[in-house]
Amino acid sequence: MANITESLETLLTVDGAMAAAVVDSASGMLLGGAGSGIDLELAAAGNTEVVRAKLKTAKSLGLADSIEDILITLSSQIHIIRPLASNREVFIYFVLDRSKANLALARMKSKEVEGQLAF
């Protein structure tokens, strides 16, 4: 199991990486953050609402699947939200510069880091 700081630093090695965080969606609290270009405290709180809404919708639809990741594509950025398999109330939030990032590689790296974290 890697610690949060090491895990976030690993994410920031991906081409185009701007910022990364680990967030507790039960409280909206930022458990750790690294990088720049975005207010991670505000993003943690806002994306907690995204995760809660998606979980509620999936439950209402009777979907038995779990969320692997949530992808938000903006004109200049890509945001990946990845709940941890070990604790669905904790998620990785990963922000990338769209012009420099390789989405497939970023998703693979976030999955790798997710597997190293345990809560």
pLDDT of residue 10: 95
SS3 category, 6: helix
Tokens 């990785």 belong to 92
Average pLDDT of 93-119? Answer: 94
The per-residue pLDDT for 53 is 94
Reduce the DSSP state of residue 101 to 3 states and report it.
coil
The candidate with the shortest Cα–Cα distance to 45, out of 15, 19, 23, is: 23
Look at the domain 4-116 and name its fold.
Beta-Lactamase (3.30.450)
Q: Is the pLDDT of residue 27 over 70?
A: yes
Percent of the chain with pLDDT over 70: 98
The pTM for the full model equals 0.93
Q: What is the pLDDT of residues 60-99, one digit of tens each?
A: 999 988 899 999 999 999 999 999 998 989 999 999 999 9
What pairs with residue 110 in β-bridges?
A: none
